[in-house]
Structure 1
Amino acid sequence: MRRIAATALAALSLFAQAAASAAERPRLVVLLVIDGLPMRQVQAFKPQFGPDGLRRFLDHGVSYSQAFYAHAHTVTAAGHATLATGAHPARHGIVGNEWLDRATGAPVYNTEDRAHRYLEGRTAPDAGTSPKNLLVETFGDALRTHEPAAKVIGVSGKDRGAILPAGHKGVAYMYRSETGRFTSTTYYMPQHPAWVNAFNAKRNAERFWHAEWRPLRPEADYAGSSPDGQPWQGQAGFGNRLPATLGAGMEAPGERFFTDVLTSPFGDQLTLEFALAALRNEGLGQDDIPDVLTVSLSSHDYINHVFGPESRLSHDHLLQVDRLLQGFFRELDREVGAGRYALALSADHGFLDTPEYRRSKGLPGGRLPVGPALTALNNHLAAEFGLPKLARGLSAGTVLFDEAALAAKGVAMAAVTRSAAGFLQQLDGIATSYGEADLASSAAPRADQAHLQALRLSWYPPRTGQLALVPLEGWMYSSRPTGSSHGSSWTYDQQVPILLWGPAWFGQGEVKTRVQPADLAPTLARALGLPPLAQAQGSPLPLPKEGAQDGPQKRRPRTPAADTAR
């Protein structure tokens, strides 16, 4: 991508031009998802951002400083589906990255569809190939229903990050770490268009063979982040210290190298390059029929998993993303026009700081190995009920029990879940749990049931178990001794950025009202002039009092019944 030499003066001129254009609706809506980005990182590093990356939103757009996911199992697939549909997992059905089939206990991947295959490379049985498991429409689906000529394209480093936002009627392209190339699937097309083949023929990922990831700023500017090489940090193929050289010690580019590309700023660079190729070759935003481009940048999530969000590597990576976004926005301004498109940026979930780092700061934290915990639970249940392996496993943050075995012996499920709950709450790392009666109830949670409503919004019986778990604050389910994760209903996992830019449609300013990512799809649907999304549980986001084309928007009240409807 072209090197950007943006200045604050040029940025102000750009925004004045955009505000002056009062298009009836945007020619293009771009939804950006930075996978695994907690809002606390945006707030902490804002002084180090460039003039026209994330600051385009923070200084000249609309920022929501109090945005929290409402559901409990905060993972990539569930978050992307919520952003795109405006519904919670209990309604859209994407309860996790994977879940267990309630009848058989077999694992199910969120975007697997064995009727389809990748257009390039091997397709595993559980590969992500279609949106079949997504139960509702996305805002892009609604656009294509009302405007069949509209184009909706999703691009990501992950299959789920491309497929779920693209919805049922869009087209998805995903990076394959096996090959370092982007591909689609037979769900969308019989073969790639020529421009995709031309892009892949350049072997773009291999351009980063022996490329060096160097910090953007002086060492002193990272003083608030954990230094490189901590014992609780994992190792990528290039280690865990900057500067780092991709491919060092390897003989030739292969799957490990292509994975490392995605665990570095170069993965996001490559994704944005492919997104721009799609924009140009598909003619997005070039006529009066609106189009949608969703771009999910996956690298931040991989980096946070390996090194922790508190690390200097994560800190520098967000600065690198900020610089890449400046270049991306410059190209959008040139290709579409600054006043003709709208931007939205969010994340699919937040992130827990590495438990060992938390403990070094005097905060609670720990790791609960799932395998040994389930073995111990099954031993306990076998001793009490005389049935082996009653707990089949974890399914999207819940324990799934063998209903058929219990029915055959005439054992009540409620008795088993009560016994299991009592046993699990004795383990280090488990705060509490809730059985089906609480999860299915519409009664308002008591004051001592802080996590229950979030668990209800993640609970979809055909794909989740009978006992929902809440980890202790600062704890994660993992047997790995390094790195970090997410997936709980604690604030660090639920709070994410929601940022908008498009002065003609959104205005400018900070909104401190508490909102949720489920509000984003209804907001973008409204900007596109669409009727309210039938399955959405979120409301259009409240806009600043000044600057929006339609004036301030009042927030529609949300009732507990509306949030828990399935």
Structure 2
Amino acid sequence: MNVRIAALPLALMSAAIALPVAAQQAPAPAAAPAAAPAPTTPPKLIVAISVDQFSADLFAQYRNRFTGGFARLLQGVVFPSGYQSHAATETCPGHSTILTGMRPAHTGIIANTWVDQKAGRADKLVYCAEDERVPGSTHDDYTASDLHLKVPTLGEMMKAANPATRVVSVAGKDRAAIMMGGHKVDELWFWNGKTFASYADRKAPPTVVRAQTAVADLIAKPQGPLPLPNWCAAIARPVQAGALTLGTGRFERAAGDAKGFRASPAIDTAVLGMAYGLAKDMKLGTGAAPDLLIVGLSATDYVGHSYGTQGSEMCIQMNELDLALETFFDALDGLGVDYEVALTADHGAHDLTERQVQHAMPMETRLDAGFSPKKVGAEIAKDLGIAGPVLIAAESDVYVANDVPAAKRARVIAEAVRRYTAMPQIAAALTREQIAATPMPKGSPENWTLLERARASFDAERSGDILLLTKPRVTPIPVPGPGYVETHGSPWDYDRRVPILFWRKGIAPFEQPLSVETVDIVPTLAATIGLPVSGLDGRCLDLDATAASTCPR
């Protein structure tokens, strides 16, 4: 029997944001809906949802267990092999593709963090969703901003076509809300680690104030263990990862533990509740122009990083997410609005090394500490007689320090490539010249070379002098610690593959297992509302199961 989340979070959203609370026991698996006429008019509301770290593998593992919101989406158009096709499979780049129709090479969002040696700070690091020009801003204490996104989003395209369009973006992370919302939004709210926040000049509407208060009250109280569905019991086994024992947790939380709240199903419930509240209060989908409601759900990512993609923690998270989406969709149904849903993810992931070894993958390893660009750079500086650091790194990008004499830069790069290429865990050390000379890839993303995957992520202004790509099944976390036992970011398909799901009342369902890309979402949605778009990296996906087409002829 499935069991719903502990009553408190759902009751919290009901009281604070008027999101209806469903019964505590899940219904039987959803039956196919009665035949209905196919939609012939454009939807009034587009609901775009990103589930952070929801890999195609995770979707495949749990799709037969879903009885709630995902069961509804499975009655629509299903692309189980979508691709975040670029090499930099991180949160910010991935979200930048979903509602722009453009790859990171064009969005400018090459990673969560990159190096700007002109930045007035010691570490030279710039976060993808900050405005580093603000006095006193640091990489860890910053002003959220859409400064670095170079292209318009779907919401901006819709507003340009009809200024009456409203765009609302709500997420568990600032980079999700900003990269999907873009530069022109009516409401934009995200969890900042303490509360729901926005840009400094934005006043919270009543729905957000209620959510802020309700979530603060929730965090102030301890949370007992969430129910364990019986089908989760078989994978609820302890595994040792460094000093941590994981795999049997149930999201118990002490009073005041905001980090525990963030890495639990409760934050997704809060985000969905606030999104619904804003849709209801703003009467989205009832105006003359189509509206856009953007929802970024981050709990799956935080759970994955903290506990891995297997074990009781992720199993409970998948169940609770499914049921929270069901409640959300049922609430939207109650508004009487014709809405269309697109759901995908910003990247994938795979499980923590220690459990992978137990699960028939003895070749899984953690990255050796000798990989450190700081360490390698120090060795090169010594060998070449260069004072000071020569390499600065952010994520997989390595930059030659500006202080390195011009006459020695090429030698530093060549020596770094030589050393990294010799490391057994490194698949490739690609120079910016190699990547820039590679044409933008075409064709099926699963067949792209590493250089082509890197090209899709390359921005001449922000990318490093060298891009380091690890071999498959190498986790780039040398030592696991609290909140960080597995990650993503590789160019391999377990990090690139994500589901892409479309649903609308009356749509004729079908499934297409061949690969598509997340950049295809914007031209696909634009076609359903009659919005002309051009010059995008993506293509329109036909959502009509018959010989007719939803795409422009």
Q: Which bin holds the TM-score, normalised by the shorter protein?
A: 0.7 to 0.9
Structure 2 residue identity aligned to 1:435:
T
Aligned twin of 1:517: 518
Query: What's the % identity of the aligned pairs?
Result: 27
Query: Which stretches in structure 1 are left out of the alignment for 5+ residues?
Result: 557-566
Structure 1 residue identity aligned to 2:267:
G
1:84-134 Cα distance to aligned partner (Å, 9 max, x none): 1111111100111111115466110111025679xxxx9987435121110
State the Cα distance separating 1:242 from its structure 2 match.
Answer: 3.3
Structure 2 residue identity aligned to 1:421:
V
1:434-480 Cα distance to aligned partner (Å, 9 max, x none): 112210113599x9983110111111121111111110111122233
Does 2:480 align with 1:481? yes
Aligned twin of 1:296: 296
Aligned twin of 1:560: none
CA RMSD between the two structures: 2.9
Q: How does 1:119-518 map to 2 (within 5 A)?
A: 126-127=141-142, 129-170=144-185, 171-178=187-194, 181-186=195-200, 189-203=201-215, 206=218, 209-218=221-230, 220-223=231-234, 225=235, 227-232=236-241, 241-247=248-254, 252-253=255-256, 257-337=257-337, 340-360=338-358, 361-368=360-367, 373-407=372-406, 410-413=407-410, 415-442=411-438, 450-482=449-481, 483-502=485-504, 507-518=508-519
Distance (Å, rounded) in 2 between the aligned partners of 1:115 and 1:376: 30
Query: Structure 1 215/42 Cα, relative in aligned 2: closer, same or farther at 3 Å?
Result: farther
1:518-543 Cα distance to aligned partner (Å, 9 max, x none): 11111112222211144x21111243
**Match for 1:56 among 72, 78, 101?**
72
Structure 1 residue identity aligned to 2:490:
S
- The answer (yes or no) to whether the contact 2:397–2:467 under 8 Å persists in 1 is yes
State the Cα distance separating 1:405 from its structure 2 match.
Answer: 1.9
Aligned twin of 1:33: 50
Distance (Å, rounded) in 2 between the aligned partners of 1:62 and 1:481: 38
1:231-259 Cα distance to aligned partner (Å, 9 max, x none): 128869xx863344211xxxx42xxx111
Query: Structure 1 552/526 Cα, relative in aligned 2: closer, same or farther at 3 Å?
Result: closer
Query: Structure 1 424/125 Cα, relative in aligned 2: closer, same or farther at 3 Å?
Result: closer
Aligned twin of 2:15: none
Distance (Å, rounded) in 1 between the aligned partners of 2:328 and 2:248: 28
Distance (Å, rounded) in 1 between the aligned partners of 2:87 and 2:404: 29
Query: Structure 1 389/434 Cα, relative in aligned 2: closer, same or farther at 3 Å?
Result: farther
Paired residue total: 520
Equivalent residue of 1:212, what SS? Answer: coil
Distance (Å, rounded) in 1 between the aligned partners of 2:364 and 2:346: 23
Query: Structure 1 217/198 Cα, relative in aligned 2: closer, same or farther at 3 Å?
Result: closer
Query: Structure 1 201/379 Cα, relative in aligned 2: closer, same or farther at 3 Å?
Result: closer
- The answer (yes or no) to whether the contact 1:116–1:130 under 8 Å persists in 2 is no
Equivalent residue of 1:86, what SS? Answer: coil
Q: TM-score, normalised by structure 1?
A: 0.84
Structure 2 residue identity aligned to 1:473:
P
Distance (Å, rounded) in 1 between the aligned partners of 2:419 and 2:292: 49
Distance (Å, rounded) in 2 between the aligned partners of 1:142 and 1:35: 24
Distance (Å, rounded) in 2 between the aligned partners of 1:523 and 1:205: 41
Equivalent residue of 1:382, what SS? Answer: helix
Equivalent residue of 1:85, what SS? Answer: coil
- The answer (yes or no) to whether the contact 1:391–1:399 under 8 Å persists in 2 is no
Query: Which stretches in structure 2 are left out of the alignment for 5+ residues?
Result: 1-18
1:130-156 Cα distance to aligned partner (Å, 9 max, x none): 211100000111001111111111111
Aligned twin of 2:14: none
Distance (Å, rounded) in 2 between the aligned partners of 1:455 and 1:433: 11
Distance (Å, rounded) in 2 between the aligned partners of 1:292 and 1:444: 30
- The answer (yes or no) to whether the contact 1:109–1:126 under 8 Å persists in 2 is no
Query: Structure 1 333/113 Cα, relative in aligned 2: closer, same or farther at 3 Å?
Result: same
Structure 2 residue identity aligned to 1:144:
K
1:209-237 Cα distance to aligned partner (Å, 9 max, x none): 2223424411x5443x4x3431128869x
Bigger shift: residues 416-425 or 74-83: 416-425
Aligned twin of 1:564: none
Equivalent residue of 1:242, what SS? Answer: coil
Distance (Å, rounded) in 1 between the aligned partners of 2:386 and 2:309: 42
Distance (Å, rounded) in 1 between the aligned partners of 2:315 and 2:533: 38
Equivalent residue of 2:240, what SS? Answer: coil
Distance (Å, rounded) in 2 between the aligned partners of 1:519 and 1:126: 35
Distance (Å, rounded) in 1 between the aligned partners of 2:463 and 2:81: 29
1:381-400 Cα distance to aligned partner (Å, 9 max, x none): 11332214554322342211
Q: TM-score, normalised by structure 2?
A: 0.86
**Match for 2:104 among 76, 89, 104?**
89
1:468-502 Cα distance to aligned partner (Å, 9 max, x none): 11101111222333510000110110010100002
State the Cα distance separating 1:203 from its structure 2 match.
Answer: 4.3
Distance (Å, rounded) in 2 between the aligned partners of 1:391 and 1:355: 32
1:317-347 Cα distance to aligned partner (Å, 9 max, x none): 111100111100100111143xx10001000
Distance (Å, rounded) in 1 between the aligned partners of 2:301 and 2:288: 36
Query: Structure 1 194/439 Cα, relative in aligned 2: closer, same or farther at 3 Å?
Result: same
Equivalent residue of 2:316, what SS? Answer: helix
Distance (Å, rounded) in 2 between the aligned partners of 1:487 and 1:190: 33
Query: Structure 1 383/272 Cα, relative in aligned 2: closer, same or farther at 3 Å?
Result: same
Distance (Å, rounded) in 2 between the aligned partners of 1:308 and 1:327: 26
- The answer (yes or no) to whether the contact 2:125–2:139 under 8 Å persists in 1 is no
Query: Structure 1 426/508 Cα, relative in aligned 2: closer, same or farther at 3 Å?
Result: same
Distance (Å, rounded) in 2 between the aligned partners of 1:196 and 1:512: 39
Equivalent residue of 2:480, what SS? Answer: coil
- The answer (yes or no) to whether the contact 1:102–1:462 under 8 Å persists in 2 is no
